[in-house]
A = this chain, B = another copy of it.
Amino acid sequence: MNQQTATAAQIAELVKGELKGDPEVVVSRVSSLKDADAQSVSFVGNKKYVNQLDETKAGIVLVNRDLADASTEKHTVIVCENVDYAFTQVIALFGEKAPAWPVGIHPRAVVDPTAKIGANVSIAANAVIDAGAEIADGACIGAGCYVGHDAKIGEGTILYPNVTVMYRCRVGKKCIIHPGVVIGADGFGFVPGPNGLVKVPQTGIVQIDDDVEIGANTTIDRARFDKTWIKSNVKIDNQVMVAHNVVVGESAILVAQCGIAGSSEIGRGAILAAKVGINGHISIGDGCKIAGCSAVQHSMEPGSIAVGIPAESQRQFIARLALPQKLEKLAARVKALEEKN
């Protein structure tokens, strides 16, 4: 822990919240409502946890504006406009920091003499940087990473341990790539040839723009030609599969275990919940939202919402869920008719 302490007044100022209660209460850690004690600052942003407010021992509780009435006088309360963002600031204040990356190339890293290494770079033991690769200023390459021929890693980007970036792929600035990610493996393409399946050469690259985060063991395949493209600010969770020639628009969110088939486009700000599957060669419009475990077969208009396997509108999905009840009611009406006849 950071061993830091803060008063309710200081926290209220940090998060620009409205303080109700004792401004002098001192806390030294963040906790969930359930695990909190008098030294804890906690929060509630979701109605389903409101009933824990009565019982929590937290010294300070951050509460979202719309739940402000639910708070009690048992603890000091700070009412926030956006409690999730506010509590994120509090976590940053108290939470234990990740270890710093030591600047320099570890003697047990293997860096090809033709690679270009920027200033203030950290390259850990057993990382391998291949011929012609470029590691920009301030980038950090974890233990056991492989950066392929002529690949480029942007300024301030972090590759956690055991990441693989294949030849010629490009990762932008200030990206965070978690362990086990594979960027630039061959796209999956075979065509029937005269003597069985023929591998389609995958001659393109993966381009990842700035401020992208990619979760552990996610795979992003290189393009058949041209590029598979993850635009800036995209956030990708663990075990996501992005196939060749896919384009993911700015600030889109791909939750864990999603899969996007070849050549599809995901619009700016779209949100794919966990385990979503997207068919190949379709277009998901800007701002679309897709419920978890859905399978999208057809292109979606911007701003639309889809759910189900195969995915349909929420209205259709809810109607489908209600089928057993509807059928039962209809059967009762038929029975009544039969009795009359």
Contact = CB atoms under 8 A, between A and B. Distances in A.
A168 B310 CA distance: 42
Given A125-B128, A179-B164, A327-B330, A191 B84 contact: yes
A277 interface: yes
B293 A295 contact: yes
Interface residues of A, number: 114
Contacts of A259: 239, 256-257, 274-275
A138 to B, nearest CB: 17
Q: Is the interface of A mostly helix, strand, loop or mixed?
A: loop
Interface in A111-133: 124-126, 128, 130-131
Interface in A192-238: 192-193, 196-201, 203-204, 213, 215-217, 219, 221, 224-226, 233, 235, 237-238
Contacts of A330: 327, 330-331, 334
A249 to B, nearest CB: 14
Contacts of A235: 188, 190, 197
Interface in A69-96: 82, 84-85, 88, 91-92, 94-96
Interface stretch (A6-14, A18-26, A53-61, A140-148): A140-148
A134 interface: no
B30 A225 contact: yes
B167 A98 contact: yes
Given A128-B126, A324-B323, A46 B281 contact: yes
Contact of A256 (B110, B243, B251, B255): B243
A164 B168 contact: no
The 6 closest A-B CB pairs, nearest first, are A95-B203, A185-B216, A146-B161, A164-B179, A182-B216, A110-B125
